[in-house]
Structure 1
Amino acid sequence: MFRPLLTLTGGLIATLAVTAAQAKPLSQEDLSVAEVLRDRALESSDAYSIVESLTVEVGPRRAGTEGDRRAVAWAQEKMKKLGFDRVYTEQIDVQRWHRGHAHAEVVAPFPQPLVVTSLGYSAPTPEGGLSAEIVEFSDVEALIKAPAKKVKGKIAFINKRMERARTGEGYGPAVQGRSRGMRAAAEKGAAALLLRSVGTDSDRFAHTGMMSIDGVENPVPALALSAPDANLLEAMLERGKPVEVKLDVHNERLADGPSFNVIGEITGREKPEEAMIIGAHLDSWDEGTGALDDGAGVAILMETARLIAELPQRPRRTLRVVLFGAEEIGLVGAKQYVDAHRGELDNIIAVSESDFGAGKIWRFDTRLPENKFDIADQMMQVLAPLGIERGNNQSSGGPDSSVFVAQGVPAFGLYQDGTDYFDYHHTPNDTLDKVDPGNLKQNVAAWVVMSFLAAEMEEDLGRVPTEN
């Protein structure tokens, strides 16, 4: 349940214009510039050209791989061509892993193949594979509560369906099986883990993703099943006979290695030491080309910065675009960025992130002190014509941004329609054809309004409460 701070109608927008002019946190001149930027964004196809370039010229870019290294070089070159004042990298340390093949098949009582993919950093099977009976659990909590004798030597099968929602709110409950399932299976002596893919599609694609692996003494192979194949196993089990599955998985943990956060700045004209950070993550999983997750976010932010850089003067503060590395394996780039810059966090006026595909933005959330709500209300004057409504004051800004918010940095959240996002998320189907150019323009229009006004305003936004 969302608790809207304000829902704007035509009459209310006019009323806000008067009250906002009295409060003057943002000048009418700045609001007019934001309107111009918004309208320019709606006419430009450059963001689509950027995500097309990333997916074609780089492709998959899992952290610590050759694709990741190509992406870092691509991002630096692209930022320089787009007119950023400063472009640089900061090294981060990442765990590395090689994905080999993953095969699964039912061997009894109804032999047939299954479509699976290894979850990130999964262990291999013994040479020649393994065969075992499967035991089904409704969710990871049921597996955790199960007696070890029920699981030992068997393949634990977590059969939790994800609910479709515009907000993507079904992801949190479903992803627990992926993040915690292998650990629970290993602790109970299971031979392996099978997981209904964390997704909302009915396609025969399996969804990969990261698991909790640190400190697991005896990791076991962990695979995601496509939704139709999870349905198939469910139907077989309903017939009352033991179901035996064979797995053959070749993966390998590698030595830790480097990756990078790539950072580009439009330097502030008056307060260059202060920054509005807008982020996306540069890495992707290796099954698709990472067009939605998070190539679209990378393109949206690069185009946002390009439009602001073309203004006659720089904004008052620095606009800093951070393309975080290794987000997919645990927000590694964001965590290491905050650790490296703890003494400078008070100079970050706010943070926000684009990491939910390329659907049309429909809601504007914040995480601000209450005495700063009028600034968000003024931003809404320029955002509302894009079909965006006011949301709540509970935003984390995005996955990577949440690391900053935990340290008291305010946040803005521009939330996209994610109704079909988890149809493609972490699958081979995450490709450029899923990106709608018109929706991408609307995204840039919203981002350029929020980013410019945050960087340009005279006041700062204070700090927000941190979690203890």
Structure 2
Amino acid sequence: MKISTSKDFWSSTLLGLFLSIFSLSAQDSDIPKAIEEEATANSQLEVLAHELMDLVGPRLVGSPQMDKAHEWAVETFASWGIEAQNEAWGTWRGWERGICHIDMVAPRVVSLHGRQLAWSPATPKGGITAEVITLPEVADSLAFAKWLPAVKGKLVCVSMPQITGRPDYNWEEFATEESFAKMKEMRDSLQDAWRANLRNTGYTWRTLNQGLEKAGAAGIVQSRWSNAFGANKIFSANTEQIPVIDLSLEDYGMVYRLSESGKSPKLRVVAESKELGRVPTFNTIATIPGTELPDEYIVLSAHFDSWDGGTGATDNGTGTITMMEAARILKKVYPNPKRTIIIGLWGSEEQGLNGSRAYVEDHPEVVEGLQALFNQDNGTGRVVNLSGQGFLHAYEYLGRWMEAVPESITTHIETTFPGNPGRGGSDYASFVAMGAPAFSLSSLSWSYWNYTWHTNLDTYDKIVFDDVRNNAILTAILTYMASEDPEQTSREKAVLSINPRSGERREWPTPRSPNREGGMN
């Protein structure tokens, strides 16, 4: 067959090539639009949030609820046609929360608002009833040691009583300037005196409970106010035999005042929990295989575990459902990505990024082939900050990818390039420490730090679904653009800025190994 070299042939060929390129470009530009439409018209965020927060509940590492969450995630991914599995990376102290009921039975009867802390020892069957006492003012550790036998058989208050349960913003709105200033002065004076007295005991807030337990206390009563209406920080107990309970600010203050005024309040505490020994811990890993560059990866990252004061809704249920929803959308509108897409739902972030640190140790091939990682983990708000994490050329590729994101989303986002590398705030830092391009999608506060972060109020009703939906769209489009980018991302590091505290130039963070056998005192 003779090949024509006529002008018509070349015109026809060039026209065909142009039309092919135009068609591909049009098709590519349709994907971000399809992502936005799917996220808006067929959102599964409310369903995912209901099932994860209301049905599964809080996800304390080592608890049966954490196992249920992993199983739920694998089943949910499978329903979307996405392969997923739970990868074991270590073990943890197994513990299951049970019923907790706290009543004041003298000098009057009232049910109190509170809970046992994570990993708290249980009360004996039927509970305990004991008088509540407060810490004395002491001149030195000898005086405190002389007083210590008085705790035997008692419930001991170990937190400073607050003089107000109103946050400062409430005072600023309604109080006179003189009254507000007076309250702050009184509070500061009380805090200074409390800290000085604690030093005088010879103990710290980390060691005091053990000292009281050794002296025969029946239990520990605390109240760790979060400076927001009704919010207390809820973490873990550090005793071996006696329960540690946290009371609401108002109930703790009442009990404390009754004790101080000589009214001898008594509490009945029923705190049921189960020690489960050492149990395996997991990451849930879902995968959408790449078709052209399967050994290069985009990772959608969120930690799956939570504290169990609430249901872990904004820390990090919202990050979890953002990544799951982005994966669902991508599987539907972009089922054959150029690069492999991994969704990593990490375990034990709250105890030191353990799940993600284990993953980077166990999967060097993903670290080596990482095109980009997108992590979300600071509340329910829309993403408003994106840092280059110290990668010198991050602006070049993140800037290209952001061009495909709707202006209604990008208009709220401030960027910092090249920025400084994250050092441990969330799981992206595990990858950054390895020199891999990982980025935090940092969100608007919605009073996160005081209101829901590690508090008893971190529940479904605090989720702002419009903002989370924006974040799912942003994540899905960035993932699509990262997958299709003809260039591999640069890992060249910038010269880091000067630390204003030390006056020395910052250094790149070094990788840290996970705690693979955690949870024991």
TM-score with structure 1 setting the length: 0.73
> RMSD in angstroms over aligned alpha carbons?
4.2
Q: 2:433: which partner in 1?
A: 406
Segments of structure 2 that go 5 or more residues without pairing to the other structure are 1-23, 170-194, 196-202, 494-507, 512-521
* More contact order relative to length (CA 8 Å, sep ≥ 6): 1
Cα distance, 1:460 vs structure 2: 1.8
| 1:416 is the counterpart of 2:443 | yes
Q: Which piece of structure 1 moves more, 356-365 or 110-119?
A: 110-119
Q: 1:202 aligns with which of 205, 229, 253?
A: 229
| 1:444 is the counterpart of 2:472 | yes
| Contact 1:269 1:315 (8 Å CA) reproduced | yes
The one-letter code of the counterpart of 2:88 is Q
CA distance in structure 2 between the aligned counterparts of 1:136 and 1:265, rounded to whole angstroms: 58
Residues 7-56 of structure 1: CA deviation (Å, up to 9, x unaligned): xxxxxxxxxxxxxxxxxxxx998994674255323444222232233345
% identical aligned pairs: 24
Q: Which piece of structure 1 moves more, 151-160 or 105-114?
A: 105-114
Give the aligned length: 416
The one-letter code of the counterpart of 1:461 is S
Q: 2:72 aligns with which of 71, 74, 87?
A: 74
What secondary structure, in the 3-state scheme, does the structure 2 residue paired with 1:183 have? coil
Q: Spell out the pairing of 1:64-463 with structure 2 (5 A cutoff).
A: 64-84=62-82, 86-92=83-89, 93-104=91-102, 114-124=112-122, 128=128, 130-135=130-135, 147=141, 149-150=143-144, 152=148, 153=151, 154-158=156-160, 183-186=206-209, 188-189=211-212, 191=217, 193-197=220-224, 199-203=226-230, 207-210=233-236, 221-232=243-254, 246=267, 248=269, 249-286=271-308, 288-311=310-333, 314-342=336-364, 344-381=366-403, 382=405, 384-386=407-409, 387-392=411-416, 393-394=419-420, 396=422, 399-421=426-448, 422-425=450-453, 429-457=457-485, 458-462=487-491
| Contact 1:186 1:219 (8 Å CA) reproduced | no
The one-letter code of the counterpart of 1:134 is T
Classify 1:147/1:401 alpha carbon distance in 2 versus 1 (closer, same or farther; 3 Å): farther
What secondary structure, in the 3-state scheme, does the structure 1 residue paired with 2:445 have? coil
Q: Which has the larger radius of gyration?
A: 2
The one-letter code of the counterpart of 2:36 is D
What secondary structure, in the 3-state scheme, does the structure 1 residue paired with 2:467 have? helix
CA distance in structure 2 between the aligned counterparts of 1:39 and 1:148, rounded to whole angstroms: 67
Q: 2:11: which partner in 1?
A: none
Residues 49-75 of structure 1: CA deviation (Å, up to 9, x unaligned): 322333455344444444333322221
Classify 1:330/1:224 alpha carbon distance in 2 versus 1 (closer, same or farther; 3 Å): farther
Cα distance, 1:451 vs structure 2: 2.4
Q: 1:16: which partner in 2?
A: none
| Contact 1:134 1:156 (8 Å CA) reproduced | yes
| 1:36 is the counterpart of 2:33 | yes
| Contact 1:64 1:259 (8 Å CA) reproduced | yes
CA distance in structure 2 between the aligned counterparts of 1:136 and 1:331, rounded to whole angstroms: 39
What secondary structure, in the 3-state scheme, does the structure 1 residue paired with 2:159 have? strand
CA distance in structure 2 between the aligned counterparts of 1:446 and 1:291, rounded to whole angstroms: 20
Classify 1:60/1:293 alpha carbon distance in 2 versus 1 (closer, same or farther; 3 Å): same
CA distance in structure 1 between the aligned counterparts of 2:356 and 2:283, rounded to whole angstroms: 8
Segments of structure 1 that go 5 or more residues without pairing to the other structure are 1-26, 138-142, 166-176
Q: Spell out the pairing of 1:56-71 with structure 2 (5 A cutoff).
A: 57-71=55-69
| Contact 1:106 1:244 (8 Å CA) reproduced | yes
What secondary structure, in the 3-state scheme, does the structure 1 residue paired with 2:276 have? strand
The one-letter code of the counterpart of 1:185 is L
CA distance in structure 1 between the aligned counterparts of 2:114 and 2:278, rounded to whole angstroms: 26
Residues 116-174 of structure 1: CA deviation (Å, up to 9, x unaligned): 2122112345773554522399xxxxx9x984854844542156899899xxxxxxxxx
Classify 1:281/1:79 alpha carbon distance in 2 versus 1 (closer, same or farther; 3 Å): same
| Contact 2:380 2:446 (8 Å CA) reproduced | no
Q: Spell out the pairing of 1:36-55 with structure 2 (5 A cutoff).
A: 36=33, 39-40=36-37, 41-55=39-53
| Contact 2:282 2:355 (8 Å CA) reproduced | yes
What secondary structure, in the 3-state scheme, does the structure 1 residue paired with 2:489 have? coil
Q: Which piece of structure 1 moves more, 103-112 or 332-341?
A: 103-112
CA distance in structure 1 between the aligned counterparts of 2:27 and 2:340, rounded to whole angstroms: 16
| Contact 1:37 1:308 (8 Å CA) reproduced | no
The one-letter code of the counterpart of 2:235 is G
What secondary structure, in the 3-state scheme, does the structure 2 residue paired with 1:314 have? coil
Cα distance, 1:107 vs structure 2: 7.8
CA distance in structure 1 between the aligned counterparts of 2:365 and 2:346, rounded to whole angstroms: 19
The one-letter code of the counterpart of 2:482 is A
CA distance in structure 2 between the aligned counterparts of 1:223 and 1:330, rounded to whole angstroms: 24
The one-letter code of the counterpart of 2:277 is A
Q: 2:192: which partner in 1?
A: none
Cα distance, 1:264 vs structure 2: 0.9
Cα distance, 1:272 vs structure 2: 1.3
| Contact 1:109 1:241 (8 Å CA) reproduced | no
Classify 1:54/1:99 alpha carbon distance in 2 versus 1 (closer, same or farther; 3 Å): closer
Cα distance, 1:95 vs structure 2: 1.5
